[in-house]
């Protein structure tokens, strides 16, 4: 999964992915001033709907994502 940001963020951040039960299944620290990140999810994450949160000092963005592996 490739994540791109609309604006450069001057703060460090964190990407978190939660399963449908609210359990944290993946976490990644995002570097300061990042505008694009490559995310390689572990093989043990199953297909399904997940909540993706990107948190920085002043901003929290939350989106639902669907993971489908072939």
Specify the CATH number for the domain of residue 56: 2.60.40.3080
Summarised one tens digit per residue, pLDDT across range 14-68 is 999 999 999 999 999 988 877 778 888 888 899 999 999 998 888 888 999 999 9
For the chain, the residue count is 70
The strand order across the sheet containing 48-56 reads 24-30, 13-18, 48-56, 60-67
pTM: 0.79
The total number of structural domains that make up the chain: 1
Domain extent at residue 23: 2-67
CA 5 – CA 23 distance, rounded (Å): 25
CA 15 – CA 56 distance, rounded (Å): 9
Q: Is 60 exceeded by the pLDDT of residue 5?
A: no
């Amino acid at each position: 999964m490739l994540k791109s940001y609309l604006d450069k963020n001057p703060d460090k951040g964190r990407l978190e992915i939660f399963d449908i039960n609210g359990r944290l299944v993946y976490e990644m620290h995002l570097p300061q001033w990042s505008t694009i990140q490559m995310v390689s999810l572990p093989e043990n994450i199953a297909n399904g709907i997940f909540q993706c949160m990107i948190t920085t000092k002043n901003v929290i963005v939350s989106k639902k994502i669907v993971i489908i592996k072939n």
